[in-house]
Homo-oligomer: A and B are copies of this chain.
Amino acid sequence: MSVSPAVSSPQFISAPALLSDWQGHRRLTRRVIEAFPEDKLFTFSLGSMRPFATMVSELIGIAEPMVRGIVTTEWKRLEEPPSTTKADLLRKWDDTTTALDQLWDQIPADRFQESMTAFGQYPGKVHELILYAIDNEIHHRGQGFVYLRALGIEPPAFYTRD
Chain A contact residues, majority secondary structure: helix
Q: Smallest CB–CB gap between A91 and chain B, Å?
A: 25
User: In the bound complex, do residue B12 and residue A18 qualify as a contact, i.e. CB atoms below 8 Å apart?
Assistant: yes
Closest chain B residue to A10, Cβ basis: B109
Number of copies: 2
Asked whether A149 and B46 contact (CB < 8 A) given A131-B21, A142-B138, A158-B136, the answer is yes
A contact residues, total (Cβ < 8 Å):
45
**Residue of A49, A127, A130 contacting most chain B CB atoms (<10 Å):** A127
Closest chain B residue to A126, Cβ basis: B12
Interface positions of A (Cβ within 8 A of B): 7, 9-18, 21, 25, 46-49, 109-110, 112-113, 125, 127-128, 130-132, 135-136, 138-143, 145-152, 158-159
